Amino acid sequence: MKIDLLDKLAKSLNLTIKIQIREVLGLKFFRIVVGRITNNSVKIFGEIKGWTFPNKNGLQLDTLRILSNSPEYTSELIWATTMAWALEKTNCENARLLAIYDEDGYSKKLVRYFRLIGFSVIKEVGASPSDLLLRLIWGGAGTLMKGDCKKIISKLEKKFKNLNLLYPA
């Protein structure tokens, strides 16, 4: 699934996808937004931020926000666009993220959500000295997870096809 196809799909749902990239010292910092443009105003329903470095495991996902009242498929569009962008515009094949531990146990829900997307647990990042570098990179302790970009986008493409969104009859 390519970015152009995802853009057409978003338009058919009256949504817009925007990808912002800033490159610094070989790192690409990105922000992918799904929103709606109406009467010269923009309503953002979801976004993901991260960075890449030139390596097949270089896609690092940092911040994900999806509003609770977002239109259907906002989450799927963000994930599919992120994976499509990584595969088309970088040499990244795998993504990593950290489900940060919190006080109220929300991280368990995040881990479950990320597993549904297609991520698997690598390790628990905690207070051990060997976790110090990971804690500095990610800004805290949590569950470090990894996902195969091709498998994730394939899973989402199958979902879009099953819902008759990609190639409507």
User: Residue 139 corresponds to which amino acid?
Assistant: G
Top-confidence residue, 167 or 59: 59
**Cα(140)–Cα(89) distance, rounded to whole angstroms?**
29
pTM of the predicted model over 0.85: yes
CB atoms within 10 A of CB 163: 12
Number of domains in the chain: 1
Residue span of the structural domain in which 153 resides: 3-162
Top-confidence residue, 10 or 136: 10
| pLDDT tens track for 127-156 | 888 888 888 888 888 999 999 999 999 999
Task: Check: CB of residue 30 under 8 Å from CB of residue 52.
Answer: yes
**Could you tell me the CATH number of the domain that includes residue 128?**
3.40.630.30
- The conformation of residue 85, written as its DSSP 8-state character, comes to H
Q: Is residue 12 part of a domain?
A: yes
Q: What are phi and psi of 161, to 5 degrees?
A: -65, -45
Q: Is residue 167 part of a domain?
A: no
